[in-house]
């Protein structure tokens, strides 16, 4: 977003360019040169100085734009950290309830039930530990948020990499995964017995692979329309822009987006994003 200071710089650039052109044209016009008696060397010096001022102004404008972008990213990180903390607090409350159940099973002598319950809790802890190990705090926060705040749907993360070489900016990653997870959650809520969403993060041949699965399916006749602007299966609840946005972001960063869907297998959206080393090799 351009602020007032940046608009002022743009106006100064326009003024400087106008003055430079005016002086040059005036000198070339013999009658104007005679009236104002401007020596050629003065015109040249002024034009050069105006050009330098334009360059310095543009440089300052770019610096301010970068500074503003960095501030926006920092604020986004703070917000994602807050979300992550809130999600962990919600999980902490869940584990307090789990402890009460464990105490009850222990004192009642239900050893088999106690063992099974502890196994489930251990699995949950291991999953959270893997999510927390992601180098992308924003992605970790998003997954934890969905796990903690989504009702009537089980979010099952499968983490096989730490995203240490992720090349896509945090805000773009949130747009990609947020849209895909929201769509999967929406479909999962319509499934009575299969209300589960699985997100798997892995890497393969220089790419990070993100797979989001739910048990719903897309009719074959709609396959060609899935990524079109305005297409939605949510009726009035959806804008139809989410998947189109995801497709454009993935393409922008040199990745690819695909999906498979069937009545028996459910629907999987798969995103391939190049790692940093892969991006460098493509630009060289």
pLDDT digits (tens, 9 = 90+) for 45-104: 766 776 677 677 777 777 777 777 777 767 766 776 676 667 666 666 677 777 787 778
- Structure confidence at residue 1 (pLDDT): 46
- Structure confidence at residue 163 (pLDDT): 94
Report field, pTM of the whole predicted structure over 0.75? no
Q: How far is 221 from 210, CA to CA, in rounded Å?
A: 25
More confident of the two residues 134 and 87: 134
Q: Tell me: the pLDDT tens digits for 192-230?
A: 777 899 999 999 999 999 999 999 888 888 888 888 887
Ranges 76-80, 98-102, 235-239, 255-259: which has the least confidence: 235-239
More confident of the two residues 180 and 23: 180
Query: Average pLDDT of 132-158?
Result: 87
């Amino acid at each position: 977003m351009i602020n007032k200071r940046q608009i002022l710089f743009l106006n100064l650039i326009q003024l400087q360019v106008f003055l430079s052109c005016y002086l040059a044209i005036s000198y070339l016009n013999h009658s104007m040169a005679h009236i104002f008696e401007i020596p050629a060397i003065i015109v040249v010096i002024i034009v050069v100085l105006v050009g330098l001022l334009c360059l310095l102004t543009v440089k300052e404008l770019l610096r301010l734009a970068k500074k503003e972008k960095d501030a926006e990213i920092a604020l986004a990180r703070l917000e994602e950290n807050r979300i992550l903390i809130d999600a962990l607090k919600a999980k902490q409350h869940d584990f307090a309830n789990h402890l009460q159940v464990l105490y009850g099973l222990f004192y009642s002598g239900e050893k088999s039930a106690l063992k099974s319950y502890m196994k489930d809790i251990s699995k949950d802890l291991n999953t959270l530990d893997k999510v927390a190990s992601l180098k992308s705090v924003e992605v970790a926060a998003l997954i934890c948020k969905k796990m903690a705040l989504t009702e009537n749907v089980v979010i099952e993360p499968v983490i096989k990499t730490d995203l240490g070489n992720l090349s896509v900016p945090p805000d773009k990653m949130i747009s990609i995964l947020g849209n895909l997870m929201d769509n999967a959650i929406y479909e999962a809520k319509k499934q009575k017995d299969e209300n589960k969403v699985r997100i798997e993060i892995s890497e393969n041949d220089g790419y990070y692979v993100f797979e989001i699965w739910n048990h719903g399916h897309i009719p074959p006749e709609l396959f060609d329309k899935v990524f079109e602007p305005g297409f939605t299966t949510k009726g009035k609840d959806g804008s139809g822009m989410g998947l189109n946005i995801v497709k454009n972001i993935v393409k922008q960063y040199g990745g690819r987006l695909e999906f498979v869907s069937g009545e028996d297998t459910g629907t999987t959206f798969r995103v391939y994003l190049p790692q940093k080393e892969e991006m460098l090799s493509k630009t060289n």
